[in-house]
Amino acid sequence: MVRNPRSRLVASSRRQTAGQPTPVKLPRVIDFSAAGTIAKNSLRISLRYPANFLIWGVLPLFWFLPFIFTGIAFTGGTTSASYQSQTGYANFIPYLVLGWVVFTYVDSSVWGVGNTLRWYQFSGVLEPMFMIPAPRLSILLGAAVAEMVTTSISTAILFGLSLVIFGLSFAASAVLPVLILLFLMIIGFTGFAFALSGLILVFKDPSVLTELVDTIIYILTPINYSINVLPLWAQPLSLILPSTFALVGIREAALAAAGLPQLWIDIVMLVILDVLFWALGMLLFQVAEHHTRRKGTLGEY
Amino acid sequence: MPKRKAKEGPPGGGGLRYQVSIAWRLSIKQWREELAYPLTLLYFVVSPVLTLLPLLLYGYALTGSGTSASLGGLTYTSDWFAYSALGFSLASLINSCLWGTGMALRREQWAGTLESLYVTPVSRFTMLFGSAIHNVQHGGLGVILQLTVSALVFGLRVNLAGILPALLAVALMVIGLQGFVLFFAAVVLLARRAWMAVELLVGSIRLLTPMSYPIVVLPVMLQTVAQGVPTYQALEAFRQFLLLGPFTPAAWSSLGLLLVLDALVVVLGWIVFRASDGFVRYRAGIGKF
Amino acid sequence: MSTGIDIRKLVKTFTSTKRRFGIIPSGHVETRALKGIDFAVGKGETVGLLGPNGAGKTTTIKILSTLILPDAGEVRVNGFDVVRQPTQVRASIGVITGGERSVYYKLSGRENLILFGRLYRLPRAEAKERADELLDMMGLSKKADEQCEDYSTGMRMKIVFARSLVHDPPTLMFDEPTLGLDPAFAREIRQFIRTKLHNKCILLTTHYMNEADFLCDRILLLHEGQIVASGTPTELKRSIREHDILALHIKGRIARRPLEKLPGVSRVAVTPDVSGTSTLRLHVLDGAAVIRQLLDAVETQGAKVLRFEFEEPTLDDVFIQKTGRRIAEHGSESS
C-alpha cells in the first residue's frame, strides 16, 4: 500500500506504458513542494559560501555611511530641527539605519528573486529547471524563501554592526511588530519580483531594468527622508509600495515604542498590497511566460 | 614560473598601432553590446536625475533650505546642493571606470570568450584599455549629462573660467583610476567571487572620495587615508575650480599631489596585474569562473 | 504499439528584428522553422530526427518539452497535450538538452540527482535510492559526493543522463546527446541508450549519421522544417539503391553545375576541405558508364582527381538525393 500520495505518480510512471495518463493531479499555479525543495537547494549552495553573509552584512554600510556623514556635515551634529519637522524624528542616524536595514530586503527581492531566472541561465541550469513538472512560479517562490533567509542573516549582521558603531539601542518590545511588518513587506515584494521576472523574460535586459526599478523604489520609499519631502505627484506612488508602510510602522515601533494595536493601519495596508502585488505579479509572469514560449525565447537572454 | 616574454602583435609587425586599433575595436564592441538593449539608452538619459534626487530630497529634509551654515563653516561654500551636485557628477565616471573596466576580464570569462581573447596577439593591457576607452566615454557622457541636468533643472551655477582646469583634474583622475582598474582586474583574475571584493573596494573608494561632505567629518584615520586617494584629490580640485575659479591655490596643490599619486597607483597596479596574470596562467585558471 | 509522441501538422514560425548598424530596428524577418510536420513515436521505439543545423530538430524537441509553444498543429506526449497540459507532459518525460554545463556545479553528483528526483516528485527516500542506483549504473559511485565542478566533461554528461532518468519516465528526448564528446565516451553513451533504454519511447536528434544508423529503429530526415524522408535506416538506403554512389577526392575547387548536366548524374554534393582539396559525392545511374566523362569534366575545370571509389549508400546520400545537400557540410563525425 502506498502511503505517500506523491509516490503514486512514481509507482504509476514506473509501470507506465506510454500513452496512459498519470493519475495524480498536478498543481496548476504554484507547487509548494517544489518551491520548498528549490529553497532548500538554494540555501545549501549559499551556506557553502559563509563569507558571503559577512560581506553582505558589511557592504550596505558603505552605501549608507555617506548619508550619515552628509547629515553630520549639513547639520553640524546628528540632529536637525528641519528633519524633525519633516520626518517626526530629530536624530537622522537611527532613522537612516532602520531605513537601510529594510532596504536590504527590498534590494534582495529585486536583484535576487527578480533575477532568479537570469542567474539560472547564467549557471546553465535554466532549461533543466524549466522542465520540472511544476509551474514556473514555484521556482521563483522557492528562490524568494531562500533569499529571505540569507538576507535575514546578513541583515542581522548589518543591524548588529550599526548598533555598535553608532551606539544605538531599541526597545525589545519592538521586535515582534518589526518582524511582522518585515514579513508582510517581504511577501508583497515577492509578488513584485514575480512581475519583474516576467518583464526580464520579455525584455531580456536583466541589469538595466532591475537597476531602474530598484532606483525608483529607493527614491519613493522613505529610507533617507519622509514621503512628504517628495513632490506632491510622487507621494501617491510611494503609498502603493509595501516598503513605505513597513518602514513607517517599523520606525513607530522601534523609535516611538508603538505596539501592534497602534500599527493596525500599516498592517492592513500591507495585507491589501500583498494581495494586489501577488495577483498582479502572478498574472504578469504568466502572460510574460506565455509570450516568450510563443516567441521561442524562453531560455534566452 | 618560467620567465618568457611573449612576442606580441601579428607576424611581421603591428606593435603599438595594432594594439591601439584593437583597443578601439574592443571599445566599439562594448558599445554595441550595451546598446543592443534599448533600455540602456533610457536608463542612461534618466540616471542623472535619479542619482541626484535622493540627495536633493535628503539635503532638503536636513536643512529645510538650499544652504547649510554648518557646511559653510567646514568648507568654502554653504550651497550644499552645488557642493554635492558637483561631487555626484563625477560619480558616474568613477563607477564606470572602476566597475566597467575592472570587471572587463570577468565579463569575458562569464561569456566564455576570455580564453579565445587570451590566445590572440592582443596584449592584456590592450583588452583593459579597450574597455577603458568605452567606459571613459560612457562615464564622460554621464558627467556632461549630469552637470547639464543640474544646471538646467536644479539651477546649478559654476564659475565658467574654472572649466578648463576642472577638465584637467578629470583627465588626471581618469589616469589614476586606471591604476585602480589594473589592481581590480588582478583581484578579478585571482578571486572566484571577485565582484564582492570589487564592490568592497569601490565602496571604500567612494567613502574616501566624499561627494557630498568634506573629509573633516570622517574619523581622523580615514581622513589621512583619503588624502592618498587620487579620486579625492581630483574631486576637490574639480569642485574648487568650478565653485571658486581657476586661481585657487588649494586646487592647484591638489592637482600636483594628484600627479604624484597617479604615477604611484598606475605603476603599482601594473605590477600587481602582471604578476596575477602570470600566476593565473601558471595555475591554468583562465577559463574557470 | 501505444504512442508516446504524436505530432500532427506542427507549424512554428520565428520572427526576429532586423537592425541597422546593429542597434536600430528596421523591420522583421520571419523564419518558418517547422512547416507542418507529422510523425509519431511508440513505446519501445527509438526514432531519430536527422538533419543539418537549422533544419528544425531542436525546435521540435523544445515544443515537445513545452519550452516553446507551437503556432499550429496538435502535439501530444504520453497522451497529454503540450499546450493545455504542460505540467503533465513534463512529469512524464526526461530530456537532455544543454550539454554538460546544465548541472549545478556547486552540488555533488548525488545532490544534483536527489534534487531533481525531489523536483520530479519522488519521495525523499526514493530519490536517494534512485540516485544511488543511477550513480552505480553510470560508474560514478566513488565520485558521487564530489562537487560537479571537479568532474570531467564526460562525468558531468553522465550526471545529465542520469538526471533525465531519475523519475523513470516512459518517454525520453535527447537533443544532440553526443555533440562535442570524445569518440570513446560518445560510443559509451550510444551503447547505454541501446542496451539500457530499449523499452522507452525515445526521440533523438543528431547530425551524426552513424549514430542514427546505430541507435534508431526509424529515421526522419528533416530539411528546412519539413520531413523529406522517413523509414528504417535500411529502407532509406534501399530507396536510392538504383543509384551508384561515387566519391571523388580532388585537388582544387570546382563548380557543381557542369557535373550535374552530365547524362546519368542525378545529384552532386561538393565539400571543400581545408587543405585545398574537395570531396565530391555523386549519385549516378550507372557509374561505370559515366566515370570517364566525370573525370574529364573535373579536369576541364582545372582540378586534379586524386582518387575515386564506389561506396555503399549512407543516410547522407539519402539526404543528398532528397535535398541536394549534405547533412553535415562542415561538421566532423565521431566513429
- C-alpha C164: how far from chain center: 18
**A203/B207 Cβ within 8 A:** no
Q: Domain count for chain B, please give it.
A: 1
**Average pLDDT score, chain C:** 88
Task: Report, as an integer, the average pLDDT of C120-124.
Answer: 92
For the stretch B61-107, pLDDT in tens is 999 998 999 999 999 999 999 999 999 899 888 888 888 887 787 77
For B4, the grid coordinates are 618568457
Q: Is residue B73 part of a domain?
A: yes
Helix, strand, coil tally for chain B in percent (to 5): 75, 0, 20
The pLDDT of residue C311: 85
The pLDDT of residue C331: 39
B39 in contact with C at a CB cutoff of 8 Å?
no
For the stretch C188-201, pLDDT in tens is 889 999 988 989 99
Per-residue pLDDT band for C328 (boundaries 50, 70, 90) equals: low
- Compute, in degrees rounded to 10, the torsion defined by CA atoms C277, C281, C285, C289: 20
Residue A91 is given by DSSP the state B
Answer whether B89's CB lies under 8 Å from B146's CB.
Answer: yes
List of chain B residues with pLDDT < 50 = 1-2, 4, 6-13, 289
Residues 119-178 of A with CB under 8 A from B: 122
Q: Is residue B11 part of a domain?
A: no
Q: Exposed, middle or buried: residue A166 (CB in 10 Å: 0-12, 13-18, 19+)?
A: middle
For B141, the grid coordinates are 557622457
Digit-by-digit pLDDT tens for chain A (301 residues) are 333 333 333 333 343 333 444 456 788 888 999 999 999 999 999 988 888 888 888 989 998 999 999 999 999 999 999 999 999 999 999 999 999 999 999 999 999 888 898 888 888 899 899 999 999 999 999 999 999 999 999 999 999 999 999 999 888 899 999 999 999 999 999 999 999 999 888 887 668 888 889 999 999 999 999 999 999 999 999 999 999 999 999 999 999 999 999 999 999 999 999 999 999 999 999 999 999 999 988 766 5
Backbone angles phi, psi at A109, to 5 degrees: -65, -45
**B46/A219 Cβ within 8 A:** no
Q: Is the pLDDT of residue C332 over 50?
A: no
C108 in contact with A at a CB cutoff of 8 Å?
no
Backbone angles phi, psi at C54, to 5 degrees: 90, 5
Instruction: Count the neighbouring beta carbons within 10 Å of the beta carbon of residue B68.
Output: 26
Distance from CA of A272 to the nearest CA of B (A): 28
Q: Is residue B86 part of a domain?
A: yes
Provide, as residue numbers in chain A, all residues whose Cβ is less than 8 Å from the Cβ of B211: 66
Residue C176 is given by DSSP the state S
Find all residues with CB under 8 Å of A258, minimum gap 6, and list them: A177, A249, A252
Instruction: Count the neighbouring beta carbons within 10 Å of the beta carbon of residue A230.
Output: 18
Partners for B (CB, 8 Å, 3+ pairs)? A, C
The pLDDT of residue B14: 56
Q: How many helices (H) and strands (E) does chain C have?
A: 11, 14
Residue A227 is given by DSSP the state G
Residue A235 is given by DSSP the state H
Distance from CA of A119 to the nearest CA of C (A): 12
Instruction: Count the neighbouring beta carbons within 10 Å of the beta carbon of residue A89.
Output: 18
Q: Could you tell me the sign of the dihedral formed by the alpha carbons of C252, C258, C261, C263, in that order?
A: negative
Which residue, among B244, B266, B241, has the nearest Cα to B254 in the 3D structure? B241
The pLDDT of residue A128: 92
Find all residues with CB under 8 Å of C21, minimum gap 6, and list them: none
C-alpha angle with apex A220: A218 to A224, nearest 5 degrees?
65
For the stretch C264-319, pLDDT in tens is 888 888 888 878 888 888 888 888 888 888 888 888 999 999 999 888 888 888 88
**A229/B62 Cβ within 8 A:** no
The pLDDT of residue B26: 85
Query: B167-195 burial, b for 16+ CB within 10 Å, e for fewer?
Result: ebbbebbbbbbbbbbbbbbbbbbbeeebe
The pLDDT of residue C324: 78
CA gap A191, A188 in Å, rounded: 5
Q: Is residue B210 part of a domain?
A: yes
Per-residue pLDDT band for C23 (boundaries 50, 70, 90) equals: low
Instruction: Count the neighbouring beta carbons within 10 Å of the beta carbon of residue A213.
Output: 19
Backbone angles phi, psi at C304, to 5 degrees: -120, 130
For the stretch C100-117, pLDDT in tens is 888 998 899 999 999 999
Which residue, among A235, A225, A218, A253, has the nearest Cα to A105 in the 3D structure? A218
User: What is the chain C residue with the closest CA to B289?
Assistant: C149
Distance from CA of B84 to the nearest CA of A (A): 9
**A216/B61 Cβ within 8 A:** no
Q: Is residue B98 part of a domain?
A: yes
Q: Is residue B5 part of a domain?
A: no
The pLDDT of residue B288: 53
For B242, the grid coordinates are 568650478
C-alpha angle with apex B125: B122 to B129, nearest 5 degrees?
100
Q: Is residue B277 part of a domain?
A: yes
Q: Exposed, middle or buried: residue B4 (CB in 10 Å: 0-12, 13-18, 19+)?
A: exposed
Q: Exposed, middle or buried: residue B157 (CB in 10 Å: 0-12, 13-18, 19+)?
A: exposed
Find all residues with CB under 8 Å of C69, minimum gap 6, and list them: A290, A293, A294, C63, C83
Q: How far is residue B62 from each of residues A74, A81, A215, B48, B216, measured CA to CA in Å?
A: 7, 8, 21, 22, 19
CA gap A162, A157 in Å, rounded: 9
B200 in contact with A at a CB cutoff of 8 Å?
yes
Q: How far is residue C165 from each of residues A11, A116, B215, C131, C137, measured CA to CA in Å?
A: 15, 26, 63, 10, 11
Which residue, among C260, C302, C308, has the nearest Cα to C288 in the 3D structure? C308
The pLDDT of residue B269: 92
Answer whether A123's CB lies under 8 Å from A143's CB.
Answer: no
Distance from CA of A84 to the nearest CA of C (A): 50
Q: How far is residue B11 from each of residues B122, C181, C275, measured CA to CA in Å?
A: 12, 34, 21
Q: Is the pLDDT of residue C330 over 70?
A: no
Q: Is residue B1 part of a domain?
A: no
Distance from CA of A61 to the nearest CA of C (A): 29
Residues 50-79 of B with CB under 8 A from A: 50, 53-55, 57-65, 68-71, 73-74
Query: C47-67 burial, b for 16+ CB within 10 Å, e for fewer?
Result: bbbbbbeebbbbbbbbbbbbb
The parent domain of residue B269 ranges over 16-288
CA gap B27, B134 in Å, rounded: 5
**A226/B84 Cβ within 8 A:** no
Instruction: Count the neighbouring beta carbons within 10 Å of the beta carbon of residue C125.
Output: 10
Farthest-apart Cα atoms in chain A, separation: 79
**A26/C67 Cβ within 8 A:** no
CA gap C262, B147 in Å, rounded: 75
Provide, as residue numbers in chain B, all residues whose Cβ is less than 8 Å from the Cβ of C23: 32, 35-36
